[in-house]
Amino acid sequence: MTCKMPIIITGGAQRLGLACAKKLRAEGHDVVVTYRHTKASIEVLEGLGVSCVRADFSSQQGVDLFIAQIKQDYSGLRGIIHNASEWEAEADCPKASQLMEKMWQVHVFAPYRMNIAFEALLYAGFECLGKADIIHMTDYSAEKGSDKHIAYASSKAGLANLTYSFAKRFAPKVNVNSIAPSLLMFRPEDDADYREKALNKSLLHQEPGEQEGVLAVQYALTNRYMTGRTLSLDGGRHLV
């Protein structure tokens, strides 16, 4: 039986999500990406045979609409990579209470709702393809906190905790792991001073780029004896 059971990548229209979508498609996986804003990368992905679904997880309704569409379109899932994320500092959001809600909505509520809603599809993926994975893109700051991104870091800690719970709930059919980068790629607006300071926070002093994140995703998708664990991509920052 041919199984069209995709890997979902949330927030797959740019940066790490886009790099993952291209690599996994090139490996022959069926891939679904979510995006909010139309951009040139969406046309590129569609040209590669990637299914691009507009979805905004900032509301419960947005999450539920996406869940309904996936359930309508697919009989199983090879996996889901919870990559969608907003990195917002308290200084950029006047109402801290709103920021905390916003961060937990996209980083915890949305992955939680999707994981529960997609349980049967993930099991079908395991039965048909022999493996099924959930990957939570967390952050080094989930362990250490952040004085400038307090709500963000706390929500990533919440996401990291979902890894433990869903690893227990979905074993042995679905492996559930976290990938926790400290720095993968800067943003265009990051100035030289910020970049220098960020690079000096790790032992390896480098901006690794999204391909290091892609390698970690590939490892988590292929390893058969890892669940409930975190792949830390932090250049030795924990030893500085």
The residues that touch ligand LV4SOB2L, with contacts defined as CB under 6 A, are 85-87, 139, 182-183, 187, 198
C-alpha count within 13 angstroms, C-beta hemisphere, residue 206: 8
Give me the count of residues in the chain.
240
Cβ closer to ligand LV4SOB2L: 191 or 224?
191
CA–CA dist 63, 118 (Å, integer): 12
Q: Report what 198 binds from ligand LV4SOB2L, ligand NDP, none; CB cut-off 5-8 Å by kind.
A: ligand LV4SOB2L
- Told to judge if 152 belongs to the known catalytic residues of this protein, a careful annotator would answer yes
Query: Residue 124 or residue 156: which is nearer to ligand NDP going by CB?
Result: 156
13 binds ligand NDP (CB under 6 A): yes
State which residue has the least CB distance to ligand NDP: 11
**Shortest Cβ 34–ligand NDP spacing (Å):** 6
d(CA 236, CA 240): 7
Query: Given 123, 140, 152, 219, which residue is catalytic?
Result: 152
- Residue ranges with strand state E in the chain: 7-9, 31-35, 51-54, 79-82, 133-137, 175-181, 230-233
* CA separation for the pair 67, 38 (Å, rounded): 20
> Site residues for ligand NDP, window 16-35 (CB under 6 A)?
16-17, 34-35
With respect to ligand NDP, which residue has the nearer C-beta, 79 or 181?
A: 181
Residues in region 51-80 near ligand NDP by CB under 6 A: 55-58
Structure tokens at 184: 């993968």
| Contact indicator for 83, 11 with CB cutoff of 8 Å | yes
Q: Is 81 in the site for ligand NDP (CB under 6 A)?
A: no
CA–CA dist 119, 79 (Å, integer): 10
Q: List the catalytic residues.
A: 152
Please give the residue ranges that form the binding site for ligand NDP (CB under 6 A). 11, 13-17, 34-37, 55-58, 83-87, 106, 137, 139, 181, 183-185
